[in-house]
Amino acid sequence: MVSRHHAALWSEEGQVFILDVHSTHGTYLNDAKLVPGRTSENAKVLTDGDTLRIGAADKRSAAIRGITAKLRILRIAR
């Protein structure tokens, strides 16, 4: 299950960051649960090849599950 306001993603100085914004079912980077927060102090840098999981499966329903993706971080020349 994924919360309505689950995580924040942004780029800064050539890096991409993710922050769990106090989601109900968690955000996981390479199987490690992110510490929820509202400031960039709790953010993690995303790198090419990372595995990102947003949310969790609902054991009551096979139709409700989180989202898992293998990341590809591309650099765009300016």
pLDDT for the residue 39: 85
Beta-carbon count within 10 A of 54 CB: 20
For the chain, the helix, strand and coil percentages under 3-state DSSP, each to the nearest 5: 5, 35, 60
Is 64 strand, coil or helix? Answer: coil
pLDDT for the residue 55: 84
At which residue do the structure tokens 């409700």 appear?
Answer: 64
- Considering only the top CATH level, what class is 7-70? mainly beta
pLDDT for the residue 24: 85
How is the chain split into domains, by residue range? Answer: 7-70
The model's pLDDT over 20-77, given as tens digits with 9 standing for 90+, comes to 999 888 899 999 999 999 888 899 999 999 999 988 766 665 655 678 889 888 776 5
Instruction: Provide the CB-side half-sphere exposure for 9 (13 A, CA).
Output: 10
Question: What's the angle, vertex CA 62, arms to CA 58 and CA 68, rounded to 5?
Answer: 70
